Amino acid sequence: MDRLVLWNIDLTLLDVGRVSRDSFADAFRRVTGRPMAALPQLAGRTDTEIFFEALYLNDVPTGQDDVADSELLSRYCWELEAAFVLRQDELLQQGRLLAGAREAVQAAGALPGVVQTVLTGTIRPNAASKLQAFGLDRYFDLEIGGYGSDAYPRGSLLLMSRDKASKKYGTVVSEDMTVYLADTVRDVEAASVGGARCIAVATGRDSVTELRDAGADLVLADLSDTDQVIMAVDRLTKVPAGR
């Protein structure tokens, strides 16, 4: 392994927003006994962040201490996974793969020394389900990814993913070896915190200008130009000398 390429999933590679929203609402109702009348902003947020903000927006009290909050979150993640399992057929019926996503992932994985994983706000089981539905899971090492089931900011998840990759592959994964492809300003900020270059794609809510102003190393309209994407990944990940 000489290079680590991380991908965000939602609105970078695919769009299953309706299925996700329905699953959020179902899991929230099962855990709290109340309907989710107000849905938080989803873009760039982890499932953990979405849950606790939903509690606030819907006037649902949290636990009395960190242990109680952790138990509440665990219940929610379990229900969220169960709700997603029930909607597997809807992923392809109501979701879509974004332009150029499959080709970009395939081509990036073919670059010398590249290992690919995901850095996503989605809990791990649901992240795997999304990728499997569109036949993308084969291109990723999901063991070293960062997921929304961990109650950490995304920048910390990126650091943790680099550390997991270093241990698994027996090499020190440096900042120069790491690139993150994602679609929100918060993702760009996470790349800066977590030690990675960032290729931002304006396929989500944030514009090209907003992503560029946030500090992305490169901003693309989408992933449709495979050669452009791969040239950027190749240029932004420095293979260590002597390898």
Name the DSSP class of 38. S
Separation between Cα atoms, residue 115 and residue 108, nearest integer Å: 9
Structure confidence at residue 66 (pLDDT): 77
Please check whether residue 118 is in contact with residue 131, taking contact to mean a CB–CB distance below 8 angstroms.
yes
User: Tens-digit pLDDT profile for the chain (243 aa)?
Assistant: 899 999 999 999 999 999 999 999 999 999 999 999 888 877 778 888 889 899 999 998 876 677 878 888 899 999 999 999 999 999 999 999 999 999 999 999 999 999 999 999 999 999 999 999 999 999 999 999 999 887 677 889 999 999 999 999 999 999 999 999 999 999 999 999 999 999 999 999 999 999 999 999 999 999 999 999 999 999 999 765 555
Structure confidence at residue 242 (pLDDT): 55
- Rounded to the nearest angstrom, the gap between the alpha carbon of residue 72 and the centroid of all alpha carbons in its chain is 22
Structure confidence at residue 75 (pLDDT): 93
Structure confidence at residue 18 (pLDDT): 92
Query: pTM for this one?
Result: 0.93
Question: How many C-beta atoms surround the C-beta of residue 60 within 10 A?
Answer: 16
Separation between Cα atoms, residue 147 and residue 130, nearest integer Å: 13
Q: Residue 207: name the closest of 43, 1, 21, 7 by CA.
A: 43
Beta pairing class for 96-97 and 14-15: antiparallel
Separation between Cα atoms, residue 9 and residue 130, nearest integer Å: 8
Structure confidence at residue 243 (pLDDT): 57
